[in-house]
Amino acid sequence: MAAPGSTHLTIRQAAFIGVGSMVGAGIFALLGAAGEVAGAAVWLSFLIAGGVALLQGYSFAKLGARYPTAGGLLEYVAKGFGDGHLTGVTAWLTYTANAIVTAMVAVSFGSYASDMFTDKNAAWAKFFAAFIIVVMTLVNLVGSLLVARAQTVIVYVVLGILVVFAVVTLADMDPSLLAPSGYPPFQDIVSSVALTFFAFLGFGIITFTAKDLAKPSRELPRAMFLALGIATVIYVAIALGVFGTLTVPEVISSGGTALAVAAKPALGQAGYWLMAVTALFATAGATNAGLYPAAGLSERLAATGQFPPVMGRRTAGRIPNGLLIQAAICLVLAVFFKLTAIASIGSAVALLIFMLVSLAHFRVRGETGANAPMLALAVGSAGVVLATFVVADLIHEPASLVTLLAVLLLSIALDVAWKRSRRTAAA
């Protein structure tokens, strides 16, 4: 790790940026939906999803060790496929999807804050969502070290409360509620991975910390696996605690408050407030982590010609335009759009990007030393999760499907328009 007083991030700080991005609002909202498919075997679904995420992490860690850069996973796609349209479209997809996911997390923060302080007032919910975007943008403007320090505090608070929750519920759980005889068919458990995997999607953020690590070739893989290990253990423990305390119908009916309801037998009303505070910290941390890559990503992609130069410049010589543009998009989405109808878009796009990264890795595996069967498993597992998600969920949500196609077409249009204008200017 970096020495005290260093301007570099430590392995722990880089890992916590990823943990903060993963352990956001998802764990609070996922349990009921996953329980409808996997029943009390949701803990097993999280374990499988963690394995799928570790396969992606293997591919990312090998690439990051060989190509440490502020461009993160986009740089990996470029190494495999060059600087053509595929890389350009992937860049715009990443930037757009990240804005959607970050805005959605901010809206979740607004909802929790409104429920706690204003009796579920919709206008206040939007105010709180905009507030957290502005605050975390300012944190990111100060620099990556403040991002990491803020994220470290947030992650310690969130993990600390979740560990207390897991210990309390596991100590009081009824093992008969988790009996394998009550599990659904294994194919249903596999199908639920399409839901539980979304709780791991934030780990890709860690690839963008390479520019701030002292020895990224050694430290990035460690940060990646540390973050995924922490998230997997927490998710499995929470799932065991909740489904070992409540029946499956009770979890499903509780929805986003399942954790609070499961804590009540031991903690009473304090359990509700404990989980509400945790949700505020978790969504604040995920907003912070979601904004983190915007500056470095935009500057790197502008330097390689994938983004217009204006996105890589700095206003007043210090404020990254890429971050300001991303924050502005997040504000517009959070305040003026109903994001619940398209909540799955960012996840679907992320799965597609993960597949492209590992496919690109095949072409440069001689340089990274990656194992070909492991890469094949990474591509195949992401493909299965994405296909299952499309068939089981997305096809039944017309608004989400249309929006996904719109995001894809917009990314293609932006890349084609920018590169055409660049060629025209050079002629």
pLDDT of 402 strictly over 70: yes
The answer to whether position 6 is within a domain reads no
Residue 301: the pLDDT is 80
Share of the chain above pLDDT 90, in %: 10
What's the Cα-to-Cα distance from 419 to each of 78, 325, 424, rounded to whole Å?
Answer: 16, 20, 9
* Closest C-alpha to 114, from 424, 334, 426: 334
Whether the CB-CB separation of 115 and 280 falls below 8 Å is answered with no
Between CA 126 and CA 129 the distance in angstroms is: 5
Would you call 84 helix, strand, or coil by DSSP? Answer: coil
Burial category of 72 from C-beta neighbours within 10 Å (exposed 0-12, middle 13-18, buried 19 and up):
buried
Residue 327: the pLDDT is 92
Residue 407: the pLDDT is 84
pLDDT of 4 strictly over 50: no
Q: Which segment of 205-209, 257-261, 343-347 scores lowest on mean pLDDT?
A: 343-347
Residue 240: the pLDDT is 92
Q: How far is C-alpha 318 from the geometric centre of its chain's CA atoms?
A: 27
Residue with tokens 């070290």: 145
Residue 256: the pLDDT is 62
| Beta pairing partners, 320 | 314
What's the number of domains the chain is made of? 1
| Vertex 208: Cα angle to 289 and 384 (nearest 5) | 85
The answer to whether position 297 is within a domain reads yes
Residue 169: the pLDDT is 84
pLDDT of 191 strictly over 90: no
Give the best-scoring range by mean pLDDT among 59-63, 120-124, 266-270, 277-281. 59-63
Residue 44: the pLDDT is 93
**Domain of residue 253, residue span:** 11-420
Q: Which segment of 221-225, 297-301, 324-328 scores lowest on mean pLDDT?
A: 297-301
Q: Which segment of 109-113, 146-150, 409-413 scores lowest on mean pLDDT?
A: 146-150
The residue count for the chain: 427
The answer to whether position 398 is within a domain reads yes
The answer to whether position 4 is within a domain reads no
Residue 132: the pLDDT is 92
Mean pLDDT of 39-63: 90
CATH (domain of 250): 1.20.1740.10
Q: Which segment of 23-27, 138-142, 205-209 scores lowest on mean pLDDT?
A: 23-27
Cα-trace Rg, the chain: 21
Which residues, 6+ apart, have CB-to-CB distance to 214 below 8 Å? 2, 6, 8
The chain-wide mean pLDDT, for the chain, equals 82
Q: Which segment of 31-40, 51-60, 219-228 scores lowest on mean pLDDT?
A: 31-40
Q: Which tens digits make up the pLDDT trace of 235-278?
A: 999 899 889 888 888 888 876 667 777 777 777 777 777 777 88
Mean pLDDT of 9-32: 76
The answer to whether position 425 is within a domain reads no
The answer to whether position 271 is within a domain reads yes
More confident residue, 383 or 211: 383
**Please, where are the H alpha helices in 173-215?**
186-196
The answer to whether position 33 is within a domain reads yes
More confident residue, 329 or 158: 329
Residue with tokens 């359990």: 271
φ and ψ at residue 318, rounded to 5 degrees: -135, -35
The answer to whether position 427 is within a domain reads no
pLDDT of 382 strictly over 50: yes
Q: Which tens digits make up the pLDDT trace of 90-119?
A: 888 888 878 887 888 888 788 878 877 877
Q: Which tens digits make up the pLDDT trace of 149-175?
A: 777 777 788 888 888 888 888 888 888
Give the best-scoring range by mean pLDDT among 112-126, 370-384, 410-424. 370-384
pLDDT of 342 strictly over 80: no
